[in-house]
Amino acid sequence: MKKIAILASGSGSNAENIIRFFQHHPSVLVDSVWTNKSDAYVLERAERLNVEAHVFTRNEMVLTDQLLAEFKRREIDLIVLAGFLLLLPQKFVREFKVVNIHPALLPAYGGKGMYGAHVHEAVIANKEKESGITIHLVDEQYDHGKTLIQAKCAIEPGETPESLAAKIHLLEMEYFPRAIEDLLMEVPRVS
Ligand code: GRF
């Protein structure tokens, strides 16, 4: 069984989608959900879906090796960043495979401060014709690492940050769990 730990800071719609996707999977288990925000809605989602969820402090992640040791103890195979807003320290990237989803076509609209509505607002303000999602391996820089998948959507006349966010959300729901599955199974998908 391959084990996933999901890190999320907010609503957790991606986390929920991933949990549901792997609920009855023969060879992948969502071991646990981890958040740095004690009021993150992802905690409620995890509880409803019977997945262990934990709040951790930035210190437990950055200054001590508490979180790292916990992931090792659990024999986590993949760390999934699903709306996780802190920079994951290098020590995690050295020890574990880590994947992230970004709501734009990197390298455009990535980097510090480019998250959530900020991304969609910038894309619309620049009159882009398309946007999309990037699912990528994580290295030591924000929104860097090897791209695994990009999926695009068109930006229509009159598009708003909210309507674009809804399109991006659909792409995230469709592609993220399958990308994680491929990564864990190491089998390239043909279509
Ligand atoms: C998603 O748009 C994801 O691409 C970005 O943060 C958002 C998280 O949303 N990294 P949710 O918490 O999964 O609902």
Centroid of ligand 1 to alpha carbon of 188 (angstroms): 25
- Output the average pLDDT for the chain: 94
Per-residue pLDDT, 141: 73
Residue 62 Cα distances to 14, 65, 116, angstroms: 24, 7, 24
Per-residue pLDDT, 126: 96
Q: Residue range 24-46: average pLDDT?
A: 97
| Residue of 102, 118, 144, 169 marked active site | 102
Across the beta sheet with 147-154, the strand order is 53-55, 28-35, 2-7, 78-81, 97-102, 130-137, 147-154
> What is the rounded CA–CA span in Å between residue 22 and residue 30?
7
CB 43 within 8 A of CB 74: no
Task: Look at the chain and count its residues.
Answer: 191
**Overall pTM surpassing 0.85 (yes/no):** yes
Residue-wise pLDDT for 69-118, tens only, equals 999 999 999 999 999 999 899 999 999 999 999 999 999 999 878 988 99
Per-residue pLDDT, 113: 84
Q: Residue range 21-42: average pLDDT?
A: 97
